[in-house]
Structure 1
Amino acid sequence: MKRSILIPYALGLVFIILMTASSSAEVIDRIVAVVNNEAITQREVDRFLAPIYEQYRALYYGDELVARIEEAKQKVMEQLIEDKLILSEARLRNIEVDETDLDGRIGEAIKRAGSKERFEAALKEQGLSLRDLRARYKDQAMVRKLIDQKIGAKITVTPVEVNNYYNNHSGEFIQPEQVKLRNILIRPRSEAGVKEALDLAKDILIRLQKGEDFAALAKEYSSGPNASEGGLMGYVKRGDLLPEIDKIIAGLEEGSISDIVQTPLGYHIFKVEERSERKAYALSDVRHDIEEAIFREKAKEKIKSWVGDLKKNAYISFK
């Protein structure tokens, strides 16, 4: 599960929220498309792609990786355009949002994170500030309110439906055991450089075992995409990584460091920062999510038709 602590279910054709654990805050924020008066930035695209990219890098290589990423990018762009179409319409209609509702959503997010400290850490990992999150919640609320006015008035979600959904989809509301990881990756520069890369990895491992700071060494030596963050990968669960890595991580305690792990990417050293135990969310914790999921399914076709009409009259430009 890629960090669905902060922002719960979206509305299907509205607001992709792909929470990920290791999206970088260091993204060039340029405009890639404009939908009416709403801009889609590179930061938005990259933030939604980041968890997909990290997952795909552990599963695919070469041309297949490139093709998978391009396919995901196209889907993200299509979804963002639809999101912005509805948001633009909501602003045009001067849809207002109750600020106390936003306070409540922030409070729910903190509760689900387990503590304010973990909530703030998750925000940081995703390159978000509290202000960013609040603005996202506000946009989401504006969109939902507009959909309620246009379509939702004809759609009801009853407490019985919510209870039945929770009971019939209990597996969806379990947070599996997660591990917060750091990683140092040493890539051979060429076939001839394999021994040199392995020797460097061995030297780094010895320095770590003597007590040197993992994050500092990751920033200095790692070739991984998260090197600038001290090798921080965020929270991962079993199955997110390559099987040979999963097996090793499963045997590490909090604070411990792995031996050198060889994969097609190079030589890895991992550190387990924290373990989060498996837990099931109570109905009260996920009621809002379930209501959104049921509403989404009922509204899907009506929203699709409505968004199609909005698109016909919209200004859409790619930069």
Structure 2
Amino acid sequence: MLKRNKFWLSAVLVAGLALPAFAEEPTADTVVATVNGEKITVGHVLAVKASLPEQYQALPDDVLFTGLVEQLIQQVALSQSLKGEVPLRIKLTAENELNAQRAGYVMDQKLRAAITDEAIQAAYDERYANMEPETEYNASHILVETEDEAKAIKKQLDEGADFAELAKEKSTGPSGPNGGSLGWFGKGMMVKPFEDAVVTMKAGEISDPVQTQFGWHVLILNETRMKDAPPLEEVKGELEAEIQQKLVEQIMADATKGAEITRADEETVPASVLSHPELIDN
């Protein structure tokens, strides 16, 4: 919505709250007002509502209706006061907006037809049907700057020191205040020296010092588990978004491929034309 159009939103909230009484069930063509003979219909009101920000659309009907009608009356009256030929900028903007609305409608229809439960299930099967269960690891670490510090910490742990308490006291990593806990992670999520150490450990085992680019680590493997394929409902939104992205690209490619298109060259219409808005200000 253009910034200047926000002016009209005030009418939504300050207008009266009474809904009109219709003699029969209204349709999109039902007239709600006229301005110098120009009709404003239920369809016009619904179209304006659809263009409002979400917070306004969520308002009750009895708050919105009269305000939207008043907004349209004001816009039509002000529009009618324009004398002479419609400015070129308005004509071009209206053409662009019509094309955008039509394109959006076509895209929406094609996506609705293509993104079905069957399509989502097929995408799920393609990704997860042959997925082998993966091991996930739950580990904690104490991060220090030098190998000597790490060796000293390992000695304390071997002598019975509590890992979490020592992590809170000694670790320089962000997980230190949380007892060094790193939560659950799978292969590829940690730097290689760290991962290489974890995957060889048994639950409850404490590692020798491990060096990474972050410093020296002493690790404890808390437990492991097998990660199976997630349920469809858990990843449905993600799969739907991926399908939609691919479809949008394909739909756009098909539309342009089937059209007879010519383009002006840079010499005829240089990119610098964008710096001349006066070309459409008449």
TM-score, normalised on structure 2?
Answer: 0.46
TM-score, normalised on structure 1?
Answer: 0.41
Task: Point out which structure has higher relative CO (alpha carbons under 8 A, 6+ apart).
Answer: 1
Structure number with greater Rg is: 2
